[in-house]
Chain A
Amino acid sequence: MPHILEATGLVKHFDDLIAVDGVDIEISPGETYGLLGPNGAGKTTTISMISGLLEPDSGSVNVNGHRITTSSTAGKADIGLVPQDLAIYPDLTGSENLTFFGRLYGMAGPTLGSRVDEVLEVIGLTDRRDDLTAEYSGGMKRRLNIGIGLLHKPRLLILDEPTVGVDPQSRNAILESVENLSVEGMAVLYTTHYMEEAERLCDRVAIIDEGTIKAEGTRRDLVSMVGEKDRISISATGNLNAAADALSSLDGVVGAATSDRGLDILAVYASSILPAILTTVSASGASISGVQVVEPNLEAVFLHLTGKALRD
């Protein structure tokens, strides 16, 4: 099956900073592809080049057989972009926003009207279609932001961290909408730094850090890279950075990093070295309130590949 997206050898510099360094991505129709990485990993720069907003220093992007550049128009009609920041007109109604952007993509007349109705139904804003978007809640604006990207039925939908700053209820609605897109045969490129979203939505995930893709594959493929290692989650307070440094030099510990709740540790044969881990953490001045040995997930994969937590 031909790929909808073929991005090859993408490189982008900003002065001395290498934002993206040799990224290759291929996505097939109906596939949801996740780009998982922490803030500043190069996700947004990568999708900016793919969607024709930025010209790569080297490499090429082809969407549905059309070469994408900043000045090309042919392939861009096959792309639907949902930017990370809201991109809607607050002084236009939801319906007017959709209609305006639909016209830019060559839609007109009854086709446009019925498609606007459909999208409003999908994103659950039919009742509020004639209200100014300035009066929408944050979640409603997010949904409209996605709806505009979906409007012209693109072959490739690019979602750049669409759930950032969204309440849990709206977040769940957005994720459900994205899940349904692959059913319709749309290829989706989804960037996130939330491991749970990548695990839930994506058929394949690329782990990106410091502008390069560290690993790529299905969740099963990626987790298998961790091998016989266990992930130990310690709930703790106190001097966690010192504890993480001390743990990193401990035999059997593959990686250790601070997390929201305490410490995330990747270790070989966790049960045998768990006492040493707990002793080291306590000796570093941290106070332990709980310990959990969990099955490796993408968070563990990221820790394994980069030696740091996904949220760093």
Chain B
Amino acid sequence: MRTALRIAGKDLKLRLRDRSAFIIGIIAPLSLAFILNLVLGNAFDPTQGIGLEYGVVDLDRSEISASFTSVLDEIEAEGILELERFSDVESADAAIEEGEVESYFLLERGFGQAVVTNSPATIQVVGNIDSPTSTQIAASIADQFATGVEAAQLAVATTSQVTSMPVTPEFVASLDGDPRSAAFSYRLDDVSTATRQLDATTYMAAGMAVFFLFFTVSFGVLGLLEEERQGTLTRLMAAPIARASVVGGKAILSFALGLISMFVLVVATQVLMGATWGAPLGVGLIVVAGILSAVGII
């Protein structure tokens, strides 16, 4: 083992002296990660490219339809979507044609009355065929509202049955607690995929680190070929040492270079680029396992 360490130490000195390991192991992956992050970083933003620009046409102008548009206003206030109001369907269709909005909500006349009287009520979602994702999100918002409305309708109907009173606006208004508020009790959660996969910066940093790891650990095998080319392998074989220690020395060098490279890259990308690698212990274990695998493969 001591001989293997001596051989690895000598090789490490040679690698540091000719700077090849420094360039391949640290400079190249760090530079590429930085450049790729600058160029392609936004392509990995999960909200990038989805235009949440919606319109609403409220032909009903009832209290219920107003409650729906006020929900949309709240979401707009959170910065998740942009909302534009249209007075008629024609202008909303024109806006979709011109790409000003991706989708619009249509609340027909009688929508509020239908809700209050427990009759079927519809919120139409009209979307641009080229923006299926944003249209689907709009439909989800409408579904959420409809679910709330259905819950309120169920509550009113149940009360009407129990009290044997007809469902009228006065009856609804006389109820203890406003069942209409149930329609507003939905939540729009921004469950971004970024919480479940690597962000762009970390993705680039990890990708480049692992990609160049294979080049870095290959210095060990290259070292054997270099010993052969320089003729020094003959001396090593003629020395009173186990032949396995020569191979062992190269493997130790590969592991050491891989470890140094990965450590520097993890720390540098975290500090300089804001990459989030996760828990240090877990990262350390994965890095060691990755280096051992790369050494084994090479």
Contact = CB atoms under 8 A, between A and B. Distances in A.
User: Is the pairing of A and B real?
Assistant: yes
Interface in A77-131: 77, 79, 81, 83, 85-92, 96, 100-101, 103-106
Given A89-B14, A89-B232, A101 B239 contact: yes
A11 B3 CA distance: 32
Contacts of B14: 89, 91-92
Nearest to B226: A89
B17 interface: yes
Contacts of A106: 240
Contacts of A101: 235, 239
B240 A83 contact: no
Interface size class of A (residues with CB under 8 A): 20 to 34
B238 A81 contact: yes
B109 interface: no
B238 A88 contact: no
Contacts of B85: none
Nearest to B11: A89
Contacts of B242: 71, 73
A90 B226 CA distance: 11
A88 B242 CA distance: 20
Contact of A104 (B230, B234, B236): B236
B238 A51 contact: yes
B50 interface: no
A89 B240 contact: no
A105 B235 contact: no
A74 interface: yes
B12 to A, nearest CB: 12
A53 interface: yes
Contacts of A83: 231, 234-235
A100 B13 CA distance: 11
B223 to A, nearest CB: 11
Contact of B10 (A81, A86, A100, A148): A100
A10 B27 CA distance: 53
B3 to A, nearest CB: 7
A56 interface: no
A43 B230 CA distance: 21
A104 B241 CA distance: 7
A266 B146 CA distance: 118
Interface in B231-283: 231-232, 234-243
A81 B234 contact: yes
B90 interface: no
A92 B13 contact: yes
Contact of B3 (A77, A86, A104): A104
A148 B240 contact: no
A91 B18 contact: yes
Given A100-B10, A104-B6, A87 B240 contact: no
A92 B238 contact: no
A76 interface: yes
Contact of A89 (B3, B230, B234, B239): B230
Contact of B230 (A52, A79, A87): A87
A151 to B, nearest CB: 11
Contacts of B234: 53, 81, 83, 85, 87
Nearest to B239: A104
Contact of B238 (A71, A74, A76): A76
B235 A73 contact: no
A228 to B, nearest CB: 45
Given A88-B230, A88-B232, A92-B10, 8 more contacts: A71-B243, A74-B240, A76-B240, A83-B235, A87-B231, A87-B232, A100-B10, A101-B239
Interface of B: 3, 6, 10, 13-14, 17-18, 230-232, 234-243
20 contacts: A51-B238, A70-B237, A73-B242, A76-B238, A76-B240, A79-B238, A81-B234, A81-B235, A83-B231, A83-B235, A85-B231, A85-B234, A87-B230, A87-B234, A88-B232, A89-B10, A101-B235, A104-B3, A104-B240, A106-B240
Closest 7 pairs (CB-CB, A-B): A87-B231, A76-B240, A77-B240, A73-B240, A85-B231, A104-B239, A81-B238
